[in-house]
């Protein structure tokens, strides 16, 4: 996803070496872990899940994100340490929904930075026709 580095930078602690590792498994469609000097500091993941789950419920039960705030339209929840956003594929004829999970390490940038990141990431993700594989 083409999300500006300015949105990710607040989560990066000082260091000399940044490493990015991507993974795809059966239960997690995709994930990317970012580490600085060997320490994991940021993770983004996408998970396909059965319909009917609210963003808040998924965040608590499966993403282990403790949301402190929720968008008015309930499309995302967030705190200073993590966020979950929902993409409703079932509304477009799919049989599963997608959940975008973002987690920050100990050097968190705060709630405002997390909200900006998850909003931008979700908007960029929606441009890619994400539900095509769920139909």
At 106 the pLDDT is 76
Q: Is 91 inside a domain boundary?
A: yes
Q: What total of structural domains would you count in the chain?
A: 1
Contact by Cβ (8 Å): 114, 102: yes
pLDDT band at 59 (very low <50, low <70, confident <90, very high): very high
Q: Is 52 inside a domain boundary?
A: yes
Predicted confidence (pLDDT) per residue in 86-115, tens digit: 999 988 888 899 999 999 987 678 999 999
CA separation for the pair 72, 43 (Å, rounded)? 25
Q: Is 104 inside a domain boundary?
A: yes
Q: Is 13 inside a domain boundary?
A: no
Q: Is 96 inside a domain boundary?
A: yes
Q: Is 40 inside a domain boundary?
A: yes
* Structural domain that includes position 84: 19-128
Strand 82-87 versus strand 97-104 pairing type? antiparallel
Q: Is 9 inside a domain boundary?
A: no
Beta strands in the chain (DSSP E): 18-23, 28-36, 39-49, 69-70, 76-78, 82-87, 97-104
* pTM listed for this prediction: 0.90
At 94 the pLDDT is 85
Q: Is 14 inside a domain boundary?
A: no
């Amino acid at each position: 996803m083409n999300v500006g580095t300015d949105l990710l930078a607040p989560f990066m602690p000082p260091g000399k070496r940044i490493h990015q590792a991507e993974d795809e498994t059966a239960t997690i469609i995709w994930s990317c872990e970012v580490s600085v000097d060997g320490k994991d500091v940021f993770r983004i993941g996408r998970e396909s899940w059965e319909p009917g789950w609210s963003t808040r419920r998924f965040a608590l039960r499966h993403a282990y994100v403790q949301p402190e705030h929720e968008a008015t339209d309930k499309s995302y929840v967030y705190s200073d340490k993590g966020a979950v956003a929902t993409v409703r594929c079932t509304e477009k004829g799919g049989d599963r929904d997608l959940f975008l999970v973002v987690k920050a390490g100990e050097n968190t940038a705060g709630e405002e930075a997390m909200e900006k990141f998850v909003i931008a990431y979700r908007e960029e993700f929606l441009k890619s026709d994400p539900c095509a594989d769920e139909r």
